[in-house]
Structure 1
Amino acid sequence: MASTLDFIEVKGVKIPFIFEEDKRLPIVSMQVVFTHSGSIDEGKHYGLARMSGKMLNEGSLKKGSVGFADALDARAIQLSANAGNETFVIELGSLKEEFDTGLSLLNEQLREPNFTAKSLEKVKTMALSDIARKEADFDTVASDELKAVLFEGTPMAVPNIGTKESIKGIKLSDVEKFKKDHIVLSNALIVMGGDISIADAKAKVQSLLTLLEVGKGGNERHYDPRKAPKESILNRPQTEQAYLYFASPFAMREGDSEFYKARVAMFILGSSGFGSRLMEEIRVKRGLAYSAYSRLSVAKTHTYFSGYLQTKLESQGEAKKTVVEVIDTFVRYGVTQSELDQARKFLLGSEPLRVETLSQRLGRTFGEYYSGKPLGSSVQELDMIRALTLDDVNDFIKRHGEIRDLSYAIVTK
């Protein structure tokens, strides 16, 4: 079994169609992905993309919110819309025999969404409640502040949930315009699979997509993180520990041929949990935190290295110093043969767990296509990890000394 890439033509637009037939369970799932339609595409109406997804989830004018939800529940159909940084996604899943009913309800929802003043106030209230709740979550506070520091002056600096001020200012016309401008064929991509033939799947999707206007495709953008380190300290009298979040630039773009080296290096440094350099130095040897973690984020819109830990208030300075030392040592001296062997063993050995479900396989194929890589490149990447030498990975690490240029967001007392 393997997911494939094809195209569907609707109103003269060639729409990517990622598909895999899987008859092991009598279910069908579909994602309609709209690229260039996430939170970075909402202009100054921060939170609009996410709110537009919530508004679409309010059902149709004909049935209303409760009636639409009841119609879905009666047939065990899952239908939802949500927005990320780069994409807006509508997901539909059901038993095979109920999929046509699900498509009919989605058709109704797209033709006449429940975009009313009442729905808008409901969604606004929920969004403001979410924002208030997150203000008491110091991990979220530190994480959001780190993004604000790292991507200052760009759409990446604002969380996709928006701010209290921006949410209050969103009008019904803003939601309608977002849908009109972004939920269009020129941005569409289909990910579909399950107990259905490819011919039947294409026919159903084409019928649904005729509802949409051609529209205008969005433009790709990339935002570079700050190069000069900066620190932001947020004082919160009610906190009982310090939340230390850090990040730095990383000279790589999505689709980079050396990504597999970064994957191995970052696994060893901080993304492997127990046994990682950061965990070993910060928790095991010095007892400064229960956990310490770092990762590399590589996407179309951004690339950066980041990490975090929580520590005692009185240990804040020592923890920060330790992070600096661990990363500097990592860049200077690289990794050991034993660390490389263990990382390789885990990454290769755990691969079957990453492709055991239909959604995982479809997601991987989507990721390969979306990042501009050829289909099957994930398998080729494993072969390259298998052949990676110690000299190669250490040379790569030394060429990325920019990860030492750390910016911080610290919540403390």
Structure 2
Amino acid sequence: MLIYEKDSLGRSFLEIVFLNAGSIFAPDGVANFAKEIINRGTKEKKERFFNELEEDAININFNVNHEYFTVSLKCLNSKRKKAIDKLTELFSNLNLTEEAFEKTKKEIIAKKENLKNNNDYIANKNLYRAVFENTPLALPVIGEDIENITLYDVKNFISEKLTQNTILINGGAEFEYEKFLNILPKGKKEKYPFFHPKQKDIKETKKLQQSYIYFASDFNINKNELHLAKIATFILGSGGFGSRIMEEIRVKKGYAYSAYAFNTFKKTHKLLSGYMQTKLENTEDAINTLKNIINDFIDKGITKEELSDAKKFLLGSEPLRNETLAQRLLKKFNEIYLELPKDYYKKELDLIKNTSIDEVNNFIKKYQNIKNLSFSILTNE
């Protein structure tokens, strides 16, 4: 699937997405390890390879999440051919030596050690570990057991997952990328699994001066309800000041500096998620307050004033979400990846504009299960 958009600023952007190459399609931590070792450059030039790119203002980045692996390439239009040549050079002779492997392993272990100080990361990781217990989503992308990863695991991932037949190309200007594709193995597509979260709480303690609270519930909506979910969750918690959660938890009770809820709609899972931080002594009451807010939201629905305010913001801010090339390309990618109707995001504005209060409230009542919240609490010992 090819997606193009002309860039009038003299820049080119190419994003190569390898589907079926996220961390859930590989042994623990291997997909992330592959991403990191590719940054070791070629066998001959090693990291000097990337210094050569800088001389031509060519930027190549790699990223991986639970669901897919991404190669992002940015350059001037005049450097498109050279950029593809360099990408082809890299993948033709990756630095998959024992030396590069051991150096990469040490760096990943060091990164994991640093993450022990990132309390938001810990709380969110624990949430996924609880609600997606015994599934690949329970493991963080970086992995848990780095020591057991072998060079064979990494080589096998690269040869079996970074392949021609799993590619989706998202480009801001036309590249002649066939040269790069031709060096990749054919490969085969796999069907994406879908995971339903279970309701389960998890608690971890360490020396802290405040509590970090992350929460989620199952929100497996239909594709034709996306606009309704956007409106409902904006009013509930993604709209910042004025949203139910922020107004009650921060403004009225002063429990948290920030408190949000948002939709997490992926190919493998769909959640209503959120987070807040609060003083240690307010932890239990903040959680109970959140439960009451969501119960009231389900039972009573929204008001006409809330719907009007949500429409004004969502419709008024949409142009800001289409300002950059990257923003527009991300929407085009999501239309294909999430199998949405063609030009869905353009049509969504009319859907939001014409939505009635009864439609939103009937939608909210339909998904009673968002009351079944799971909590990940990181608090003081």
Please state whether the residue corresponding to 1:148 is helix, strand or coil: helix
Corresponding letter in the other structure for 2:53 = L
Please state whether the residue corresponding to 1:34 is helix, strand or coil: strand
Corresponding position of 1:239: 208
1:52 matched to 2:34? The reply is: yes
Please state whether the residue corresponding to 1:364 is helix, strand or coil: helix
Please state whether the residue corresponding to 1:21 is helix, strand or coil: coil
1:280 matched to 2:247? The reply is: yes
Corresponding letter in the other structure for 2:182 = T
Counterpart selection for 1:134 from 115, 126, 130: 115
Q: Cα offset for 1:207?
A: 2.2
Please state whether the residue corresponding to 2:177 is helix, strand or coil: helix
Q: What is the CA–CA distance in structure 2 between the aligned matches of 1:316 and 1:59, rounded to whole Å? A: 47
| Residue-by-residue CA offset, 1:3-35 (whole Å, 9 max, x unaligned) | xxxxxxxxxxxxx1111112x211111111110
Counterpart selection for 1:396 from 347, 359, 363: 363
Corresponding position of 1:8: none
Q: What is the CA–CA distance in structure 2 between the aligned matches of 1:143 and 1:80, rounded to whole Å? A: 25
Once the two structures are aligned, what percentage of the paired residues are identical?
A: 38
Could you tell me which runs of 5 or more consecutive residues in structure 1 were left unpaired when the two chains were aligned: 1-15
Corresponding position of 1:27: 11
Q: What is the CA–CA distance in structure 2 between the aligned matches of 1:20 and 1:141, rounded to whole Å? A: 38
Counterpart selection for 1:119 from 100, 103, 109: 100
Q: Give the ranges of 4+ consecutive aligned residues of structure 1 lying more than 3 Å apart after TM superposition.
A: none
Q: What is the CA–CA distance in structure 2 between the aligned matches of 1:396 and 1:105, rounded to whole Å? A: 50
Please state whether the residue corresponding to 2:70 is helix, strand or coil: strand
| Residue-by-residue CA offset, 1:221-273 (whole Å, 9 max, x unaligned) | 111101xx32212111x1011111111111325xx111110010001101111
Corresponding letter in the other structure for 1:206 = E
Corresponding position of 1:183: 162
Corresponding position of 2:219: 250
- RMSD, aligned α-carbons: 1.1
Corresponding position of 1:37: 21
Q: Cα offset for 1:74?
A: 1.0
Q: Cα offset for 1:403?
A: 0.7
Q: What is the CA–CA distance in structure 2 between the aligned matches of 1:148 and 1:215, rounded to whole Å? A: 30
Q: Cα offset for 1:349?
A: 0.6
Corresponding letter in the other structure for 2:203 = I
My pick for the range that moved more, 358-367 or 176-185, is 358-367
1:321 matched to 2:288? The reply is: yes
Corresponding letter in the other structure for 2:191 = N
Matches within 5 A, 1:1-400: 16-22=1-7, 24-42=8-26, 45-65=27-47, 67-163=48-144, 166-194=145-173, 198=174, 201=175, 204-226=176-198, 229-236=199-206, 238-252=207-221, 256-400=223-367
User: How does the TM-score come out when normalised to structure 2?
Assistant: 0.97
Q: What is the CA–CA distance in structure 1 between the aligned matches of 2:333 and 2:24, rounded to whole Å? A: 20
